[in-house]
Structure 1
């Protein structure tokens, strides 16, 4: 899956499940709205007091499962960052273009960017299912 295909897929799916782990190694998963930059970085907003924000500050490695409509999903592993300053403003603009009226830049909310370093596309529309995986365009 190249960058353009990934970006189009995320923009169509618009949501996914992000998984993090806390300082003790306990998992936490949450359904979130997902936006994506043209560069393929995945964005989501959340309450600043949410567990996932605290978890990312301790361990930036995350997994995200995007989509499932029509039997296709993409699993993403990567490094997450809670954005601040100019990065938050720039990515917030991208997020708001895809989710007008969202609270990504509001007080009490955080904006998170995930830079994918591994992708797995699963297409169950065929028998057997078509599975492709590998390292994407970032490093």
Structure 2
């Protein structure tokens, strides 16, 4: 799967589950509105005092699952951050293009924008007799080594 396909897929799905690590390293997941930037970053918002924001300030590693209802999924891993300056303006504009109904929350300072830079993603299509799994070509993103099955 090419990055442009990932972007289109995320934008069409419009939501997913973001998993973060709690203070005790326990997994914590939330179902959120998510979009993809033109660069392939995943973008979502959250309340500044939420568990996920506290978790991400401590440890930016995330896992994300998007889709499922139509028999397809995108599984992804990456690192979340909180863009500032020009990058915050760019990411917020792209997020609000997808979700203009959330503009008031941004104007009121009621939410924080989170950006996820992906380092691994895989699309799965389970609609046929044989599942089709495709790694996403994240050319602009450094790849990290993935452990062999059963070794992690």
- Range of TM-score over shorter length: over 0.9
Take 1:108 and 1:119, find their aligned partners in 2: how far apart are those partners? 30
Aligned length: 139
Deviation string, structure 1 residues 52-87 (Cα, Å, up to 9, x no partner): 001011111101101113200000100100233332
Report what 2:68 is aligned to.
68
Structure 1 alignment gaps of length 5 or more:
none
Report what 2:146 is aligned to.
none
Q: How does 1:26-37 map to 2 (within 5 A)?
A: 26-37=26-37
Report what 1:94 is aligned to.
94
Q: TM-score, normalised by structure 1?
A: 0.93
Q: TM-score, normalised by structure 2?
A: 0.85
Deviation string, structure 1 residues 19-52 (Cα, Å, up to 9, x no partner): 0001210111000001111110000001011100
3-state SS in 2 of match to 1:70: coil
Computed over aligned residues only, the root mean square deviation of the Cα atoms, in angstroms, reads 1.4
Take 2:119 and 2:107, find their aligned partners in 1: how far apart are those partners? 26
Q: Write out the 4+ residue segments of structure 1 that deviate beyond 6 Å after TM superposition.
A: none
Deviation (angstroms), 1:136: 1.8
Question: Are 1:53 and 2:58 an aligned pair?
Answer: no
Structure 2 alignment gaps of length 5 or more:
143-152
